[in-house]
């Protein structure tokens, strides 16, 4: 089912909220309203909207101030400014602050409708084959796809944040394939897998005799990837020495082969990834601040699978299709039973999509070409889910129960106290701004909201 776009109207004029709200609801949008700038910001901090209609002149906090606060917190929801006193100045100021468009009040209804349609259409990612392998029907993955489509055509460095197995490598490749560099090399390096010296010579190359075993001169990956993209996985794990060298590449686009002193110019786009909390590492002095800023030009946070259970059915479908393509017709799997799907939806997936894919491959093997039933799933998936879905209600009710905060609580329980403290600290650091706190914690706003409720904060 396609998502209904959610629109928030922020206006202190009740008649406008009601009238325009009704008009947009008739168009099939889900409309919410807030009577003041502060009330609107509160909702934007805790809920996701696809668009905001924002009145410029309001009692108390003005529309411009709302917009400024919103953009300052990293929220890029499209905003259409509304003004009863259209002056070029205020419209220009709004556009500069990141409004997507503006309209004068009283609004022409058909103009309002067409602007909304156009802006929402712009938000739909237009992606090619490079991103086609990324499965994800839910809103959260759509946001990720949108970010990919925005940043791919640029030259900007991209930093992918997310837990293991969430799909960072897949996204890095998609960014390359959706970029003008697609016909040039794409190389990936796992920075945590190699000792410092080896990593250096892999990345930057070496002269003959630079170290024992360096019998020949060798180009490094930055040179090999010239004109293309390099994916530096686990960037949070590199040593201080390597951090300095990577900074130089990002800043000067220069490399020096180990054992030489000649600088070589390279034209390589960098996509980096980490599951680490780089902000804390910077604070502790374990990660260079200047490198951190160079890397985080454009960040994409990849949500954990447990935070987007709506993607599970389509991922399951993709996994079965992949399996069926690879095996003989007699071993093809016919689908997944309702019980099995319930267990899959309720499990926590600490290993994220990688673990889901592996579990399905296991189930495909043991189901021997039939239908995947609950007992074909790996034990931990059966047990993990069964301990929280032991109710005797209907399947739907049990699934809802399993997805509710209980599922989250169960997972965080051993560490709940420290998580609560972390959340309190992040909120303090962010002056109570939940969007920024969520970003610092590396979790979605909705997750943070759930956790605040859960911890009674
Ligand atoms: N959205 C997705 N659609 C389809 N397959 C996915 C998706 N996300 C992840 N996968 C698959 O899950 C596996 C793990 O993904 P990937 O290697 O990209 O994760 P990662 O975040 O880079 O993990 P790590 O941090 O451990 O390196 C891969 O087989 C990948 O193809």
Residue-wise pLDDT tens digits, 14-38: 999 999 999 999 999 999 999 999 9
pLDDT: which is higher, 125 or 117: 117
Distance of alpha carbon 169 from alpha carbon 103, whole angstroms: 42
Q: Where in the chain is the domain with CATH 3.40.50.300?
A: 140-303
Least confident of 90-94, 97-101, 199-203, 404-408: 404-408
> If you search the block for the tokens 């082969």, which residue do you land on?
257
Mean pLDDT of 428-449: 78
Confidence class for position 128, pLDDT limits 50, 70, 90: low
What is each CA distance from 345 to 48, 137, 267, 319, 336, in whole angstroms? Answer: 22, 14, 44, 15, 12
pLDDT in tens, 287-332: 999 999 999 999 999 999 999 988 898 899 889 988 988 888 888 8
Mean residue pLDDT of the chain comes to 85
Q: Report the DSSP pairing between strands 30-34 and 51-55.
A: unpaired
Measure 337 CA to ligand 1 centroid, in angstroms: 25
Distance of alpha carbon 64 from alpha carbon 288, whole angstroms: 35
pLDDT at 435 over 80: no
3-state class (DSSP) for residue 398 = helix
| Domain 410-454, CATH | 1.10.10
Q: Of 170, 189, 234, which is best to mutate to test ligand 1, by the most ligand atoms within 8 angstroms of its C-beta?
A: 170
Confidence class for position 80, pLDDT limits 50, 70, 90: very high
pLDDT at 176 over 80: yes
Length of the chain: 457
pLDDT at 218 over 70: yes
Q: Report the DSSP pairing between strands 269-274 and 158-161.
A: parallel
Task: Compute CA 283 distance to the chain's CA centroid, rounded to the nearest angstrom.
Answer: 24
Question: Given this model, what pLDDT does residue 144 score?
Answer: 93
Measure 233 CA to ligand 1 centroid, in angstroms: 12
Topology classification of domain 6-123 = Rossmann fold (3.40.50)
pLDDT at 457 over 90: no
Largest CA distance in the chain: 80
Which residues share a beta bridge with 265?
A: 254
Q: Which of 339, 349, 357, 360 is nearest to 411 (CA)?
A: 349
Whose CA is closest to atom 13 on ligand 1?
354
What is each CA distance from 223 to 201, 253, 263, 392, 427, in whole angstroms? Answer: 12, 11, 12, 62, 43
* Percentage of residues in the chain having pLDDT higher than 90: 52
- Decide whether any atom of ligand 1 lies within 6 Å of the 303 Cβ: no
pLDDT at 393 over 90: no
pLDDT in tens, 240-250: 999 999 999 99
Question: Given this model, what pLDDT does residue 281 score?
Answer: 96
Measure 89 CA to ligand 1 centroid, in angstroms: 47
Q: Which of 312, 302, 323 is nearest to 442 (CA)?
A: 302
Domain 140-303: what homologous superfamily? P-loop containing nucleotide triphosphate hydrolases (3.40.50.300)
Q: Where in the chain is the domain with CATH 3.40.50.2300?
A: 6-123
Topology classification of domain 306-403 = Helicase, Ruva Protein; domain 3 (1.10.8)
ipTM: 0.98
Question: Given this model, what pLDDT does residue 388 score?
Answer: 33
Question: Given this model, what pLDDT does residue 152 score?
Answer: 94
Of the segments 31-35, 76-80, 129-133, 258-262, which one has the largest average pLDDT value? 31-35
Q: Of 129, 165, 272, 359, which is best to mutate to test ligand 1, by the most ligand atoms within 8 angstroms of its C-beta?
A: 165
Contacts of 146 (CB under 8 A, 6+ apart): 123, 124, 125
- Decide whether any atom of ligand 1 lies within 6 Å of the 233 Cβ: yes
Measure 169 CA to ligand 1 centroid, in angstroms: 6
Question: Given this model, what pLDDT does residue 402 score?
Answer: 37
3-state class (DSSP) for residue 166 = coil
Question: Given this model, what pLDDT does residue 126 score?
Answer: 59
Q: Where in the chain is the domain with CATH 1.10.10?
A: 410-454
Measure 322 CA to ligand 1 centroid, in angstroms: 14
Whose CA is closest to atom 7 on ligand 1?
167
Question: Given this model, what pLDDT does residue 396 score?
Answer: 37
Confidence class for position 89, pLDDT limits 50, 70, 90: confident
Burial status of residue 69 (CB atoms within 10 A of its CB: 0-12, 13-18, 19 or more):
buried
pLDDT at 171 over 60: yes
Give the torsion sign (CA, 258, 263, 268, 274). positive
Mean pLDDT of 421-437: 81
pLDDT in tens, 343-365: 999 999 999 999 999 999 999 99
Confidence class for position 85, pLDDT limits 50, 70, 90: low
Give the torsion sign (CA, 339, 345, 349, 353). positive
* Percentage of residues in the chain having pLDDT higher than 70: 88
Give the torsion sign (CA, 15, 18, 21, 27). negative
Q: Where in the chain is the domain with CATH 1.10.8.60?
A: 306-403
Measure 295 CA to ligand 1 centroid, in angstroms: 21
Confidence class for position 88, pLDDT limits 50, 70, 90: low
pLDDT at 141 over 50: yes
């Amino acid at each position: 089912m396609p998502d209904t776009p959610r629109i928030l109207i922020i206006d202190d004029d009740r008649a406008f909220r009601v009238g325009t709200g009704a008009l947009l609801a008739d168009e099939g949008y889900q409309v919410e309203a807030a009577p003041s700038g502060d009330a609107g910001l509160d909702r934007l901090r805790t809920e996701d909207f696809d668009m905001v209609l924002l009145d410029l002149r309001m009692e108390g906090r003005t529309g411009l101030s709302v917009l400024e606060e919103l953009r300052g917190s990293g929220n890029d929801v499209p905003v259409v400014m509304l003004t009863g006193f259209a002056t070029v100045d205020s419209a220009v100021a709004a556009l500069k602050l990141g409004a997507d468009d503006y309209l004068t009040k009283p609004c022409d209804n058909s103009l309002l409708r067409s602007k909304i349609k156009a802006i929402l259409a712009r938000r739909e990612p237009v992606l090619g084959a490079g991103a086609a392998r990324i499965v994800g029907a839910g809103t959260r993955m759509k946001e990720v796809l949108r970010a990919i489509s925005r940043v791919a055509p640029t030259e900007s460095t991209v930093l992918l944040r997310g837990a293991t197995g969430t799909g960072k490598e897949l996204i890095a490749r998609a960014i390359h394939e959706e970029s003008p560099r697609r016909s040039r090399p794409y190389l990936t390096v796992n920075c945590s897998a190699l000792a410092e010296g080896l990593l250096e010579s892999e990345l930057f190359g070496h002269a003959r005799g630079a170290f024992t075993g360096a019998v020949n001169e060798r180009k490094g990956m930055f040179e090999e990837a010239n004109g293309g993209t390099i994916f530096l996985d686990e960037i949070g794990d590199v040593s201080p020495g390597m951090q300095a060298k990577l900074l130089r590449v990002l800043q000067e686009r220069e490399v020096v082969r180990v054992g030489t002193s000649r600088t070589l110019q390279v034209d390589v786009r960098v996509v980096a990834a980490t599951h680490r909390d780089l902000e804390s590492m910077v604070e502790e002095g374990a990660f260079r601040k200047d490198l951190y800023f160079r890397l985080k030009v454009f960040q994409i946070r990849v949500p954990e699978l447990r935070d987007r259970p709506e993607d599970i059915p389509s991922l399951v479908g993709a996994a079965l299709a992949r399996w069926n393509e690879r095996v003989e017709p007699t071993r093809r799997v016919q689908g997944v039973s309702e019980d099995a799907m319930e267990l899959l939806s309720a499990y926590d997936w600490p290993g994220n999509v990688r673990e889901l894919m592996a579990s399905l491959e296991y189930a495909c093997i043991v189901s021997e070409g039939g239908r995947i039933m609950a007992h074909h799933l790996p034990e931990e998936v059966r047990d993990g889910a069964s301990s929280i879905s032991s109710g005797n209600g209907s399947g739907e009710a049990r699934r809802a129960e399993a997805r509710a905060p209980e599922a989250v609580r169960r997972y965080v329980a051993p560490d709940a106290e420290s998580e609560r403290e972390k959340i309190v600290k992040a909120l303090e650091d962010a002056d109570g701004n939940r969007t920024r706190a969520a970003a610092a914690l590396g979790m979605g706003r909705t997750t943070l909201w759930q956790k605040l409720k859960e911890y009674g904060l």
